[in-house]
Amino acid sequence: MNELRNQEKLRVKSLRSFEKSEIKGARGVYTLIIFVPSPFTTIIGRLGKKKIERGYYAYTGSAFGSGPSSLAGRISRHLNKTKRKRWHIDYLLCNDDVAIKGVLAMTTRRRMECEINQYLMNKLKAEIPILNFGSSDCRMRCRSHLLYLGSDNNVVGKIANLYMQKKEGKIFAFLDC
C-alpha cells in the first residue's frame, strides 16, 4: 500500500495488468521488476548455463514498433509464461518460480533503454548478474540490461522515483502482474 501512495505522490499512473489498453500503440521504454524466490540454474540461450540468485532484478527494454512491438505488446509478451524463447529475458521469465512484481513504462520518442538501464544501475548500486544479458543490440555498450538489486522489496517505488527524474513522457506502473 505504501508503494501505491508513493506512486500517487510521484504522479505515476498505476494500472493493473488488464488495463494495458492505456498504452496501446504507445512507444517507449520499460523496466520489469522481477522476483526470484530461490536460486536456480538455467540455460540462457547462447549465453549458456547461468546461476540465478534469490532476490529482485530489473530488466530494461524498449518498444518502438506497433502491435506486438509496441509498449503494450512487449509488456504483454513478457507477462505471458508460455511463449517461444526468443530473447534472453524469455529464458528467465519462463521459469515457473520467477515472478514479475511490477512494470514501469514511459512513453517517449527517444531511444532511452540504455540511458535508463545505466541510470538505474548507478542510482540503485545494482550488480550485473549475467554479462551481455539483453544487451546484444546495445547502443551505449551496456554490459547487461538485467540488473541484480538484492532483497530490497521496495524496488518498485525506487524505480518509479528514478523514472520521474528522467521523465520524457507519461509514466505508467503496472502492479500485481
Taking the C-alpha atoms of residue 31 and residue 129, their distance in angstroms, rounded to an integer, is: 16
What range does the domain containing 51 cover?
A: 30-61+112-125+137-169
Distance, in Å, from the CA atom of 93 to the CA atom of 81, rounded to the nearest integer, reads 7
Span 53-75, pLDDT tens digits: 999 999 999 999 998 899 999 99
Q: Could you tell me if residue 93 is inside a domain?
A: no
Q: What is the pLDDT of residue 125?
A: 97
57 lies in a domain? yes
Q: What cell was used for 130? A: 549475467
Q: Is 168 exposed, middle or buried (0-12, 13-18, 19+ CB in 10 A)?
A: middle
Rounded distance, CA 168 to CA 21, Å? Answer: 20
Does 151 fall in a domain? Answer: yes
Taking the C-alpha atoms of residue 174 and residue 156, their distance in angstroms, rounded to an integer, is 10
Other residues' Cβ atoms within 10 Å of the Cβ of residue 20: 21
What pTM does this model have?
0.88
pLDDT of the chain, 177 residues: tens digit per residue: 344 444 444 444 554 544 556 788 899 999 999 999 999 999 999 999 999 999 999 999 999 999 889 999 999 999 988 889 999 999 999 999 999 999 999 999 999 999 999 999 999 999 999 999 998 777 778 999 999 999 988 899 999 999 999 988 889 888 876
Tally of domains in the chain: 1
Supply the pLDDT for residue 97. 92
Residues sharing a CB contact under 8 Å with residue 144, sequence separation 6 or more, in sequence order:
128, 129, 130, 131, 132, 133, 134, 135
Residue 129, C-alpha cell as written in the block: 548478474
Q: Is residue 8 part of a domain?
A: no
* Predicted local confidence at residue 20, as pLDDT: 57
Residue pair 99/55 in contact (Cβ under 8 Å)? The answer is no
Q: Is residue 96 situated within a structural domain? A: no
Cα separation, 26 vs 38, whole angstroms: 35
Per-residue confidence (pLDDT) for residue 1, from 0 to 100: 37
In a domain, 68, yes or no: no
| Residues 127/152, Cβ–Cβ less than 8 Å | no
pLDDT of residue 56: 98
